[in-house]
Structure 1
Amino acid sequence: METAPLILLAAGGTGGHLFPAEALAVELMKRDLRVRLVTDSRAVRYSGLFSKDMIDVVPSETMRGRSPWQLARTGITLALGTAMALNLVRKLKPAAVVGFGGYPTVPPLVAARLLRIPSVIHDSNAVLGRANRFLSRHVNAVATSLPGVLDRDPALGQKTTTVGTPMRPAILAAAAIAYNPPDASGPFRLLVVGGSQGARVMSDVVPGAIERLEPSLWNRLILTQQVREEDMARVRAVYDRLKIHAELAPFFTDLPARLASNHLVVSRSGAGTVAELAAIGRPSILVPLPGSIDQDQFANAGVLANAGGGLRIAQSGFTSDRLASEISALAAEPARLDAMAKAARGAGRLDAAERLADLVLKVAGI
């Protein structure tokens, strides 16, 4: 293995970037290739495939504002990261560099460009992220999860391949579990998640929605909710008062299995979450993160909503009354939930890691 070609992966330090990188790494290792990850300091806490001896940390900075001070700080940090990435890439001599989005991908991908090393970027969103948009004209190939992302840019479209979102082994295992709709009078399993950092809006809205449900549904409900530590006491107090069977935690390490075991998911609509819901095939109520420049989560949620696999509710309309109404209606219609699960599954791709690996090896000339 020490003489096998090395593929250097670059990703931001959140699950939405790291999980597709992990899935590609698993596929490349099956093909007897070596892999390493370049990322930022957040990924040091990552407990997946990449052990600490497989990770290289390079400084980077997200574009957070447009004041001269903020722009200067970002520029200096990215310049320092690029210098470090140049030294790293020269030392490692990878056959190709693959970026998965986020500003930590900029230094290693720029280094690859300067050193004439083949490079690929992958974007899971329905709208190309800012870092990937900047890098897209400087790489050999662009891989997208969804068709049509670059239809308005013919120059980029010529080097774009739709592959889907690579799925880590835990998601593929969960995808093998068939959806069983709830019985009309049996347990109704509801999962509420808010992305890798949780979402306060879920703590603000969901308890009130549960309180507005008919008491007969309280007795059926088995609730699992991601709740920030600072919101835990007030959320738990509501469910204890209602005698709801609820499991609350700031983070779930076994989220793929929990997605598979629930009848309905209420969630943000990050690219990774939407792709996993589609791969596993689970009905969802999606609340896009507001305020994004690119409105990427709104577009992501639209993929499942348009397919009939989910409901998209803008945060401005995400009230306890609205959520209670939607949960009540779905819980009373098992056949509708089953149809949504099938529609979601129809929008998923389970072979994305293989397709992306094929593209990377083609670009690398391996």
Structure 2
Amino acid sequence: MDIAPLILLAAGGTGGHLFPAEALGVELIKRGLRVRLVTDSRAVRYGALFSKDMIDVVPSETVRGRSPWQLARTGIWLAVGTATALNVIRRLRPAAVVGFGGYPTVPPLMAARLLRVPSVIHDANAVLGRANRFLSRHVSAVATSLPGVLDRDPALRQKTTTVGTPMRPAILAAAAIAYNPPGATGPLRLLVVGGSQGARVMSDIVPGAIERLEPSLWSRLILTQQVREEDMTRVRAVYDRLKIQAELKPFIADLPARLASNHLVVSRSGAGTVAELAAIGRPSILVPLPGSIDQDQFANAGVLSQAGGAIRIAQGDFTSDRLASEISNLLAEPARLTAMAEAARSVGRLDAAERLADLVVKVAGI
């Protein structure tokens, strides 16, 4: 019996990289192909599709500074990872390798190039990430979530296809749930998330914003907030004092269902979060992570804000007073929330996994 071709998926060990890889994996399995994941040790926390026997861990390192010592250390670890990835690819003989960003994708994609295995990278951001930018000239094809990402580079534009961000099954299920705006006197559901590791700024700003809301809203508010363990006590103390119905968690495992069930989302604007808000169609207040070299989160949030589906607030302007004002205004206008939900949904693509799978199969020649 012939063995089905194998597609090796490579992703950094955070949800923003792993969830699109999982979504593509589901689609490829539907088509009768085999998949495996190569990543770093953080992946087990996020992967629902990939069991431990489907994962190969390859050493890697992120560029953390520009000093000669830091660059040398990163180079050594990436070289070790590439040697390990060469052995993995020789052993598994994949038909293609697909990378989803993050420095753990560099060793397997470089190993694929050295062994002349077809390869694809996918980038979900409005600005190509550093690892993918490095890899883009060494792969067979580039897939982006958003149009125009590489329009200024003719050489890369020719091998670039816009496919959207592949959505895992839980997001597709959540996308089938219509947005239901808050009633005049009913519950007000607010979700606050800060990325895969949580964000301290949310713990610093959101409790003060809730305290500044009209007291008549406190009894109606149902709040779910991602909070780091070290911030849990101080955040909970504020909500307990205000008698807010609040669920605080360091990690929200069922995030797709939470996105679908809430009236308003306050969040960072990582590529995965923005794509999921668009796919499900939920209004949001987005606070881009500052300080990144490419300002990718600011650009990501801009996609939704320009469409009318989100309010983008730079972190320097993100104060308790400003957030309280925005929340109050939105909750007072259910029709505006509904319009924002529809605008966000207009940006989303639910067939991205199929489109990316088509590209991968074409590149692999299977």
- TM-score band, normalised by shorter chain: over 0.9
8 Å Cα contact 1:184/1:331 also seen in 2: no
**Structure 1: distance between partners of 2:81 and 2:243:** 52
8 Å Cα contact 1:10/1:99 also seen in 2: yes
**Structure 2: distance between partners of 1:315 and 1:211:** 20
- Partner of residue 213, structure 2: 213
- Partner of residue 344, structure 1: 344
**Structure 2: distance between partners of 1:299 and 1:247:** 30
**Structure 2: distance between partners of 1:61 and 1:357:** 28
TM-score between both structures, scaled by the size of structure 1: 0.99
- The one-letter code sitting in structure 2 at the alignment partner of 1:105 is T
- The one-letter code sitting in structure 1 at the alignment partner of 2:241 is R
8 Å Cα contact 1:171/1:256 also seen in 2: yes
For the residue of structure 1 that corresponds to 2:42, the secondary structure is helix
Displacement of 1:7 after TM fit?
A: 0.2
Per-residue CA shift, 1:89-148, capped at 9, x if unaligned? 111110000000000000110011011110000000000000000000011100000001
**Structure 1: distance between partners of 2:32 and 2:18:** 21
Q: Percent of aligned positions with the same letter in both sequences?
A: 88
Unaligned runs of 5+ in 2: none
- The one-letter code sitting in structure 2 at the alignment partner of 1:145 is S
For the residue of structure 2 that corresponds to 1:56, the secondary structure is strand
- Partner of residue 40, structure 1: 40
For the residue of structure 2 that corresponds to 1:36, the secondary structure is strand
Unaligned runs of 5+ in 1: none
Displacement of 1:2 after TM fit?
A: 6.8
- The one-letter code sitting in structure 2 at the alignment partner of 1:22 is E
Deviates more, 1:255-264 or 1:179-188: 179-188
After superposition, residues 43-122 of structure 1 pair within 5 angstroms as: 43-122=43-122
- The one-letter code sitting in structure 1 at the alignment partner of 2:354 is E
Per-residue CA shift, 1:26-53, capped at 9, x if unaligned? 0000001000000011113334110000
2:163 equivalent to 1:199:
no
Displacement of 1:172 after TM fit?
A: 0.2
- The one-letter code sitting in structure 2 at the alignment partner of 1:307 is A
CA 1:47–1:22 in structure 2 vs 1: closer, same or farther (change >3 Å)?
A: closer
**Structure 2: distance between partners of 1:243 and 1:41:** 40
Please list every run of at least 4 consecutive aligned residues from structure 1 whose deviation after the TM superposition is greater than 6 angstroms.
none
**Structure 2: distance between partners of 1:301 and 1:237:** 31
**Structure 1: distance between partners of 2:108 and 2:179:** 41
**Structure 2: distance between partners of 1:245 and 1:186:** 14
2:134 equivalent to 1:140:
no
For the residue of structure 1 that corresponds to 2:7, the secondary structure is strand
Per-residue CA shift, 1:224-244, capped at 9, x if unaligned? 101111111111110111111
**Structure 1: distance between partners of 2:20 and 2:54:** 16
8 Å Cα contact 1:10/1:39 also seen in 2: yes
2:298 equivalent to 1:285:
no
For the residue of structure 1 that corresponds to 2:148, the secondary structure is coil
Per-residue CA shift, 1:164-188, capped at 9, x if unaligned? 0000000000000000011122111
After superposition, residues 200-349 of structure 1 pair within 5 angstroms as: 200-349=200-349
**Structure 2: distance between partners of 1:154 and 1:45:** 39
**Structure 1: distance between partners of 2:210 and 2:35:** 46
8 Å Cα contact 2:123/2:129 also seen in 1: yes
For the residue of structure 2 that corresponds to 1:41, the secondary structure is coil
8 Å Cα contact 1:39/1:56 also seen in 2: yes
CA 1:128–1:267 in structure 2 vs 1: closer, same or farther (change >3 Å)?
A: same
**Structure 1: distance between partners of 2:296 and 2:101:** 13
**Structure 1: distance between partners of 2:303 and 2:47:** 30
TM-score between both structures, scaled by the size of structure 2: 0.99
8 Å Cα contact 2:209/2:321 also seen in 1: yes
The two structures, once aligned, show a CA RMSD in angstroms of: 0.8
- The one-letter code sitting in structure 2 at the alignment partner of 1:236 is R
- The one-letter code sitting in structure 2 at the alignment partner of 1:213 is L
**Structure 2: distance between partners of 1:250 and 1:28:** 32
